């Protein structure tokens, strides 16, 4: 092969890689613009603030307040985070710092298996197990909604569906800590638990925060598992035992059959756009947290 042909092949390969990279970088913008275009018929007459903060959802009367769906998504995600943080952090520390090598390998295999389970399975498990338990709790506390289909049930189920994703990231983080760092701290007289708490966790703080931020992003977009246990009632949740209706559930339940109603279709497209923006925002925050702490080191 001549030098000219080699150079031309090299330029073609490099050009193809640049095109592929450009497609990946432009894809979120293309999706966002297409959703904005479809949502514009609702935004033009109503205004973004009125739609976002409106509490009344009555499509047949032309009222498309999205606040019940947004608030439900936020509360479910925060509930999931509340359950995820202690469980995932404790499990990651045990697997990487205390468990024997054979047990750590077995536990990682179990986590990988859990990560591959479809979310609908978690949803079914939630319906069979979590919902009855939450219903009994609601009855014992005298809550109005005793069915168990609630924000609390959704938070528990979404935390279990996202835990394998976060655990894998945390395990990779803790395994990245060098043995020399631990031995240096131990040689100064620190106990093993002090080394973990004051040296390892402190060093990995940005990565831990970023992992949970990405976990919240994933929880915010969780659809099927949440849809099956949250109750799907259009209201701003007033308590843990109240039913809710997150944005992904709204899209999954309504899109398709309502495409023939222009304003309804626009409202659903706006819901999808809001969901996209929030997920991108959480990913951006995770990236900025890592960069901020690295700049301080």
Q: List the CATH number of the domain containing 255.
A: 1.10.3720.10
For position 121, what pLDDT does the model report?
Answer: 93
In this prediction, residue 186 has a pLDDT band, given cuts at 50, 70 and 90, of confident
Cβ-contact 250, 272 below 8 angstroms? no
Q: Is residue 32 part of a domain?
A: no
Contact (CB, 8 A) for 219 and 162: yes
Question: So what's the pLDDT on residue 1?
Answer: 55
Query: Is residue 19 in a domain?
Result: no
Question: Which 8-state DSSP code applies to residue 57?
Answer: E
Residue 275: which domain range?
A: 52-296
- Report d(CA 173, CA 210) in Å as an integer: 11
**192/164 Cα distance (integer angstroms):** 26
Q: State the average pLDDT for the chain.
A: 87
pLDDT(165) > 60: yes
Burial profile 61-77: b = 16 or more Cβ within 10 angstroms, e = fewer = eeebbbebbbbbbbbbb
Domain assignment present for 268: yes
DSSP 3-state assignment of 282?
helix
Residue 199 lies in a domain: yes
Name the more confident of 291 and 228. 228
Q: How many helices (H) and strands (E) does the chain have?
A: 14, 2
Domain assignment of residue 35, yes or no: no
* Global pTM exceeds 0.75: yes
Structural domain contains residue 208: yes
280 vs 146 pLDDT, higher one: 280
Integer Rg of the chain from CA: 23
Q: Which structure tokens are listed for 183?
A: 């031995």
The model's confidence at residue 6, banded by pLDDT at 50, 70 and 90, is: low
Q: What is the predicted pLDDT for the residue at 56?
A: 87
Q: Percent of the chain, pLDDT > 70?
A: 93
Tell whether the model's pLDDT for residue 199 goes beyond 90.
no
pLDDT score for 156: 94
Q: Is 69 helix (H, G, I), strand (E, B) or coil?
A: helix
Pairing mode of beta strands 57-58, 63-64: antiparallel
CA–CA distance, 23 with 16 (Å, rounded to integer) = 11
More confident residue, 145 or 57: 57
pLDDT at 282: 87
Pairs from 112-115 (Cβ < 8 Å, separation ≥ 24): 112/164, 112/168, 114/163, 114/164, 115/164, 115/165, 115/168
Domain-embedded: residue 223: yes
How many domains in the chain? Answer: 1
Domain contains 56? yes
Question: What is the mean pLDDT of the segment spanning 41-57?
Answer: 83
pLDDT digits 0-9 by tens, 79-100:
999 999 999 999 999 999 888 9
Q: Which residue has the tokens 């919902």?
A: 131
pLDDT of the residue at 207 = 87
182 vs 127, residue with greater confidence: 127
**What are 34's two structure tokens?**
């297409």
DSSP label at residue 55: -
């Amino acid at each position: 092969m001549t030098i000219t042909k080699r150079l031309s092949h090299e330029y073609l390969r490099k050009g193809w890689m640049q095109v592929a990279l450009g497609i990946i970088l432009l894809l979120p913008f293309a999706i966002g613009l297409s959703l904005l275009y479809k949502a514009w018929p609702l935004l033009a007459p109503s205004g973004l603030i009125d739609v976002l903060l409106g509490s009344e959802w009555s499509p047949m009367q032309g009222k498309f307040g999205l606040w019940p769906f947004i608030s439900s998504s936020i509360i479910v995600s925060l509930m999931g985070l509340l359950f995820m943080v202690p469980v995932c952090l404790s499990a990651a520390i045990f697997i990487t710092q205390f468990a024997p090598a054979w047990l750590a390998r077995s536990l990682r295999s179990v986590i990988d298996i859990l990560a591959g389970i479809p979310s609908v399975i978690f949803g079914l498990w939630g319906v069979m197990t979590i919902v009855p338990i939450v219903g009994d709790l609601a009855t014992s506390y005298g809550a109005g909604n005793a069915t168990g289909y609630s924000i609390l049930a959704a938070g528990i189920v979404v935390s279990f569906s996202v835990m394998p994703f976060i655990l894998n990231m945390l395990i990779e983080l803790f395994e990245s800590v060098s043995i020399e760092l631990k031995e240096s701290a131990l040689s100064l007289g620190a106990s093993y638990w002090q080394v973990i708490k004051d040296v390892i966790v402190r060093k990995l703080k940005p990565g831990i925060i970023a992992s949970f931020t990405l976990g919240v992003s994933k929880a915010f977009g969780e659809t099927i598992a949440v849809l099956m246990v949250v109750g799907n009632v259009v209201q701003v949740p007033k308590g843990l035992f109240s039913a809710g209706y997150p944005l992904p559930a709204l899209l999954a339940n309504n899109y398709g059959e309502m495409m023939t109603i222009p304003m309804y279709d626009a409202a659903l497209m706006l819901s999808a756009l809001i969901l996209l923006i929030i997920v991108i925002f959480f990913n951006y925050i995770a990236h900025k947290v890592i960069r901020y702490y690295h700049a301080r080191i």
